[in-house]
Chain A
Amino acid sequence: MTAESLSRPVDPLSEAELKESSRKVGLLAFLSSVVMLFATFTAAFLVRRTGTDWKPLEMPEIMWISTWLLIGSSVTIEISRVTGRKMGLLVTLGLGLAFLFCQVKALSEMGGFSGALAENPHFSFIFVLLLVHALHLLGGIGGLFLTSLSSSRFGWVVTYWHFMGLVWIYVLVLLFLS
């Protein structure tokens, strides 16, 4: 959004260009919404952490692996975008699935859906935040799949994927390193 475009001195762009720029605006707005969602969880986390029953947990080793997987997937999607080869999207998708697998594994190692979830508030937050992030990532995986099938350009999915990677790193820092 530039001052120029806000005052609309000229014809709107061609239909394709308009679609493209609208997509950017919409995506930005959606990402703001996601930011607010995680900001809310952050506020809740910071408040709840001051409780007397707070028992901090160590970060499980496997989360390093999932983090590197997600970082790797951002690299592959970027390569795919630069080279224009859709094959890279499928690789990214695979890395995304591997990431989700590691997340599930991490959660079940820490106690899964059994008693631990209820007993340790730190784990409750880990569980909920991982779940919410995973659901958003699943949206990205769906997008990767559709984009790799269609003949159109890469669209929103690259930005979204990078963004969800950043969100994961943020979540990780918040949960374990803050």
Chain B
Amino acid sequence: MSHSHEPTTFLSKYVFSFDHKVIGIQYLITALFMAVIGGLLALTIRYQLAWPSENVVSAESYLSLVTMHGTIMVFFVISMGLVSGFGNLLIPLHVGARDMAYPFLNMLSYWVMVPACLLMIGSFFVEGGAAAAGWTAYPPLSALKDAVPGSGMGQTLWLLAMALFIVSFTMGSLNYLTTILNERTRGMSMMKLPLLTWTFLISAIIGILAFPALTAAAVMLLFDRHAGTSFFLPAGMYFEGTGVLPNMGGTPLLFQHLFWFLGHPEVYVLVLPALGITFEIIAAFGRRSPFGYRTTVYSLLCVAFLSMIVWGHHMFTSGMDPRIGEYFSIVTVMITVPFSVIGLNLIGSLWQARIRAETPMLFALGVISAMGMGGLGGLYLGTATSDMYFHDSYFVVGHFHLTIGTVTFLALFGGIYHWFPKFIGRKTNELLGKTHFWLTIIPMFAMFLLMHLQGMGGIHRRYYDVTQYSYPNASAMALMPWISYLAFALFAGQLVFAFNVIWSIFRGEKSSENPWGATTLEWTAPSPAPHGNWPDKVPVVHRDPYDYGSDGVWAQNVENAEGQA
């Protein structure tokens, strides 16, 4: 087995490591680093929005900031942190394997991600600045330097970085899928998998099937940009100074279809693992088996399927055929079905529980609330008729920040607190953790809920200076600076987290193998888990993942009531 040849040099142990845990931590650290960048970009955006007359940034830079903030947060923070980070850390431990199915590919996937990050960051410093066509990169704006300066070199680097990201993410997904389907230990049937691993499996499937659409779109966009083709560029575009462009009958809408064929499933790549983490934490700190394991699994599969056929809800107002729009509206709101089941199961899992409201649990409970609000907000946007009003308004910004921003970030933090003892061997500080929780949830909820109100008031998104118009509701406009204060407060509160993590790495209370008394397999390995995960034999599974019985709590590998493994 792979643990027999343990790496010895620094390079092979910490840098080019094949060990899924090291790679997972590399991903997590990189994601947190990118989160700082993405956060600083957000703060600058917020400053400009609240005090536009001060012009802290130019209009060019503003669009680049918005574009890069969105791209970095979606792909390089949440996808990378939740899926690549936690996925790597936990999948082999959860299924009872010593490592991923392809450790070398795994190492490679991280080292393809690093240049992707560097290219993304580097694109700020090229002529014309970073990409400025939004994270959605709709052509013609994203294809023509004449249209916006960021569509010069910046957009090329953006596309290349995204291509590397997709390559890396695909390698990762192949690993997760194969490991989960094929490398489970004895007794670990699919229906005994922890729910988090189920969500990783779904994410991997979506990653494998949906990302190619973006690859294809990116290739064609690159050709439109650099070889003069007209995949997405229509005839007769006129720019002052340049005149009429020579392109012929391409279709800009085609790009939007391809983008959202990936884009919508991608949001489930972000949200589902967050919900998986929440289920794990709630089981461990609620001391009961989650309500409806089976209905949750079926709902997840249902979400995965539906996610591939609803992309058009981002395009209700795009000018596509209105009958197709109505179809997309009908199936989109059907996503309520699996998600309401998941919501029911999350809340139901607290029924008759014995809740220990420690830090990870607080974050998990926060996720339930955020997912509820975010999901219900989605109904306003999924209903085509009301989306005519809400599309591209602050309502949308509030909505997706609650779901792919708040749900994911709360889960990311909760997960870090929950599994910190496993991978570092020490616990984080409870008091600091709880402080961090309150400093996070209050500004986050307030900020993004207020954005919904602004959207109702009619404020449009991606505006450099929102004061140009007088139609928006005056109270909605008055919220602008308050949201910015909340954003600054939120960012400041994260210092507590940074301090807690760094301090706990060195000074935290030493942790036992299973500090929370949880039941899934990772807690049967030593803390921190060694290379190969289990020093002797790989555990064999005899029980359901959450066996919190009335007569005791049993880890998955316990065979009989006497507690013998």
Total residues of chain A contacting the partner, CB 8 A? 42
Chain B residues whose C-beta falls within 8 Å of the C-beta of A149 in the assembled complex: none
Chain A residues whose C-beta falls within 8 Å of the C-beta of B246 in the assembled complex: 118
C-alpha gap A36/B220 in the complex (Å)? 15
Q: Which residue of A lies closest to B541 (CB)?
A: A8
Does residue A151 face the partner (Cβ distance < 8 Å to B)?
no
Determine whether the beta carbon of B181 is less than 8 Å from that of A128: no
Chain A residues whose C-beta falls within 8 Å of the C-beta of B288 in the assembled complex: none
Does residue A47 face the partner (Cβ distance < 8 Å to B)?
yes
C-alpha gap A22/B179 in the complex (Å)? 8
Determine whether the beta carbon of B212 is less than 8 Å from that of A37: yes
Report the minimal beta-carbon distance from A100 to chain B, rounded to whole angstroms. Answer: 18
Q: A30-B174, A33-B212, A37-B215 are in contact. Are A8 and B186 (CB under 8 A)?
A: yes
Determine whether the beta carbon of B189 is less than 8 Å from that of A40: no
* Stretch of A11-19, A67-75, A85-93, A170-178 that contacts chain B: A11-19
Determine whether the beta carbon of A118 is less than 8 Å from that of B181: no
C-alpha gap A10/B213 in the complex (Å)? 39
Report the minimal beta-carbon distance from B192 to chain A, rounded to whole angstroms. Answer: 9
Does residue A97 face the partner (Cβ distance < 8 Å to B)?
no
What sequence of 0s and 1s flags, for each residue 51-89 of chain A, a beta carbon within 8 Å of any chain B beta carbon? 111100000000000000000000000000000000000
Does residue A25 face the partner (Cβ distance < 8 Å to B)?
yes
Q: A118-B228, A124-B229 are in contact. Are A11 and B212 (CB under 8 A)?
A: no
Determine whether the beta carbon of B219 is less than 8 Å from that of A7: no
Q: A7-B189, A40-B216 are in contact. Are A12 and B183 (CB under 8 A)?
A: yes
Determine whether the beta carbon of B186 is less than 8 Å from that of A12: yes
Does residue B369 face the partner (Cβ distance < 8 Å to A)?
no
C-alpha gap A53/B33 in the complex (Å)? 48
Does residue B389 face the partner (Cβ distance < 8 Å to A)?
no
* Stretch of B81-89, B250-258, B447-455 that contacts chain A: B250-258
Determine whether the beta carbon of A29 is less than 8 Å from that of B177: yes
Determine whether the beta carbon of A118 is less than 8 Å from that of B229: yes
Total contacts A-B at CB 8 Å: 126
C-alpha gap A22/B254 in the complex (Å)? 37
Determine whether the beta carbon of B178 is less than 8 Å from that of A36: no
What sequence of 0s and 1s flags, for each residue 198-242 of chain B, a beta carbon within 8 Å of any chain A beta carbon? 000000000011111101110110010001111100010000000
Does residue B386 face the partner (Cβ distance < 8 Å to A)?
no
Determine whether the beta carbon of B189 is less than 8 Å from that of A48: no
Determine whether the beta carbon of B101 is less than 8 Å from that of A118: no
Determine whether the beta carbon of B223 is less than 8 Å from that of A128: yes
What sequence of 0s and 1s flags, for each residue 9-50 of chain A, a beta carbon within 8 Å of any chain B beta carbon? 111100100100110011001101110110111011001100
Report the minimal beta-carbon distance from A57 to chain B, rounded to whole angstroms. Answer: 14
Chain A residues whose C-beta falls within 8 Å of the C-beta of B178 in the assembled complex: 22, 25-26, 29
Chain B residues whose C-beta falls within 8 Å of the C-beta of A118 in the assembled complex: 227-230, 246
C-alpha gap A117/B181 in the complex (Å)? 44
A117-154 residues at the B interface, CB under 8 angstroms: 117-119, 121, 124, 127-128, 132
Does residue B385 face the partner (Cβ distance < 8 Å to A)?
no
Does residue A101 face the partner (Cβ distance < 8 Å to B)?
no
Chain B residues whose C-beta falls within 8 Å of the C-beta of A26 in the assembled complex: 101-102, 174-175, 177-178
Does residue B185 face the partner (Cβ distance < 8 Å to A)?
yes
Chain B residues whose C-beta falls within 8 Å of the C-beta of A32 in the assembled complex: 208-209
Does residue B261 face the partner (Cβ distance < 8 Å to A)?
yes
Determine whether the beta carbon of B183 is less than 8 Å from that of A18: yes
Report the minimal beta-carbon distance from A110 to chain B, rounded to whole angstroms. Answer: 14
Does residue B332 face the partner (Cβ distance < 8 Å to A)?
no
Chain B residues whose C-beta falls within 8 Å of the C-beta of A11 in the assembled complex: 186
C-alpha gap A109/B210 in the complex (Å)? 35
Q: A33-B208, A118-B246 are in contact. Are A128 and B186 (CB under 8 A)?
A: no
- Starting from the known contacts A36-B208, A51-B248, A128-B229, 8 additional A-B residue pairs (CB-CB under 8 Å) come to A18-B182, A22-B178, A33-B209, A43-B257, A48-B251, A48-B254, A118-B246, A124-B231
5 contacts between A and B (CB under 8 A): A6-B181, A7-B189, A9-B187, A25-B182, A44-B231
Q: Spell out B's residues near A (CB within 8 Å).
A: 1, 101-102, 170, 173-175, 177-179, 181-190, 208-213, 215-217, 219-220, 223, 227-231, 235, 246, 248-251, 254, 257-258, 261
